[in-house]
Structure 1
């Protein structure tokens, strides 16, 4: 699976009716695409926008009381309006959605079918969500030139998703860089390691996870551990579970709580090899920043 190169860019977000919780149109520098973000509650009003009349690919997003991960559904439409109309009346789980079209209507049916298949592939690999799609459609055959163009469009989409609150398509594949501070947990026979990352806190493949759970762990963390087990992110290995891949958690505390099977303050529990806590590292860094401004 190709890794998309990161590069500097700027975006603009236009709010047509002045309400930041309503329709948002997201554009990126030097890009023909446009992202459209909206809440389900105002769908009847926003569907009148011209962007809904174009060919595109969409993602429906919702939370679940039984899962620690967001639930998403990926689809395509030519135009998107008619598919979204159907989901508005027939799918209950989603609370908001985002879709991508182009300003010049250069996306065709085959293009968006390709994008749909690739997004489903990426979501399954990243294991950062519950995917409501029951099938994995095969991508249509495109010429080499068309494939390159659509992959470039996909890369731009992937750079925008996290900016609108949807970070579920990128698997944690990179090894920690030499300058990254490593942190460890050694508790009750388990050993885990990880590091801070712009996306959250990464726990490394091979880290051990407590099999048992404290009664006070809470429904969210309990559900998240179940999701990770069901998705194969953690697997049984002797007396403990073990991470089968590098995995990014939303916070150090979520990471340490999943690892230890109990509620945990990650800033206190993640420590360097010398026993320095993540909190102490962060406080020291904050002090350096304050002093540099004097």
Structure 2
């Protein structure tokens, strides 16, 4: 369940784009983000001699998709040097290790396996790992430790800008037609936060469902959009975005319709509506709740009224 937390980020060189060290003061886990160009500087630090779990991050230049490789090792120094020589896609690595140097190889093996499962379930990053292997045998006390450690890693990764374990829209209700949309906590237990209102966007050959989140607008898997785009739309950035989503297999052509294969995050309701309708669109007006009230009335107008009242 989400709760307020204090997170400290230390910049060893004072450069926000350089090495960053993040930790929650009451936890024993620390994560270190290292640009690939500064890997040599990290290898001079004492931490590379520890057991750790690491995440290589980069982009697919052809599709623009975010990619990640998850690994673990008893010698970060040796393993990261091997990846620097043998893997091309990544430009940053985030390493998770223990402040007390108490992670064992058993901890690391289970955390690697769990991280791969959570990454695959979230479908936010393309997973570079070939397979996740079998679930390691983990005694109950160690399993309890790993559950807490992994949650700390999840929070710190998201804080640094890598929400690799967080689905774009966590749901307790899987049927997009029924009931309120309720976010889940990372372990699957219902989150005590506010429910997310479900919105609908329909048009010729289009019938989509979505939710407005703190990251943008999410069109839910199973939604459909119009495959044929109007001529004026084909010169826009939204059309190029839609073609990119088709290339990434987030959208699949099915006759006259486009089917959303997975929950898909857009930066704005207008971008989501345009990709659904195959034309430029005013998202805050196109997306409506089940009573027909537009998103603008729920999300935009209250802010405008609040600003007027404060002035």
TM-score bracket, shorter-length normalisation: 0.7 to 0.9
Q: How many residues in Structure 1 have an aligned counterpart in Structure 2?
A: 286
Match of 2:257 in 1: 240
Shift of 1:19: 1.0
* C-alpha contact 2:228 2:256 (8 A) present in aligned 1: no
Q: Distance in 1 between matches of 2:249 and 2:16?
A: 34
Shift of 1:238: 6.0
Match of 1:227 in 2: 248
Taking a change above 3 Å as real, the CA distance of residues 62 and 242 of structure 1, as seen in their structure-2 partners, is same
Bigger Cα displacement from structure 2, 132-141 vs 271-280: 271-280
Shift of 1:279: 4.5
Aligned: 1:201 with 2:217? yes
* C-alpha contact 2:57 2:90 (8 A) present in aligned 1: yes
Q: Distance in 2 between matches of 1:152 and 1:16?
A: 27
Taking a change above 3 Å as real, the CA distance of residues 22 and 266 of structure 1, as seen in their structure-2 partners, is same
Match of 2:157 in 1: 161
Q: Distance in 1 between matches of 2:114 and 2:133?
A: 9
Over residues 214-240 of structure 1, what are the superposed CA-to-partner deviations in whole Å (9 max), with x where a residue is unaligned?
6445554322233234xxxx5566642
- Quick one: which of 125, 142, 150 aligns to 1:146? 142
- Quick one: which of 210, 218, 222 aligns to 2:226? 210
Q: Distance in 1 between matches of 2:125 and 2:262?
A: 15
Match of 1:53 in 2: 49
Q: How does 1:274-285 map to 2 (within 5 A)?
A: 277-279=294-296, 281-285=298-302
Shift of 1:60: 0.8
* C-alpha contact 1:9 1:29 (8 A) present in aligned 2: no
Q: Distance in 1 between matches of 2:69 and 2:228?
A: 32
Q: Distance in 2 between matches of 1:46 and 1:265?
A: 47
Query: What TM-score results when the alignment is normalised by the length of structure 2?
Result: 0.81
Over residues 264-287 of structure 1, what are the superposed CA-to-partner deviations in whole Å (9 max), with x where a residue is unaligned?
553454334566544554431222
Aligned: 1:65 with 2:61? yes
* C-alpha contact 1:225 1:258 (8 A) present in aligned 2: no
Query: What TM-score results when the alignment is normalised by the length of structure 1?
Result: 0.85
Aligned: 1:28 with 2:24? yes
Shift of 1:156: 1.2
Aligned: 1:11 with 2:7? yes
Over residues 28-70 of structure 1, what are the superposed CA-to-partner deviations in whole Å (9 max), with x where a residue is unaligned?
1311000101211222223212222211111111112222420
* C-alpha contact 1:67 1:220 (8 A) present in aligned 2: no
* C-alpha contact 1:36 1:99 (8 A) present in aligned 2: yes
Match of 2:177 in 1: none
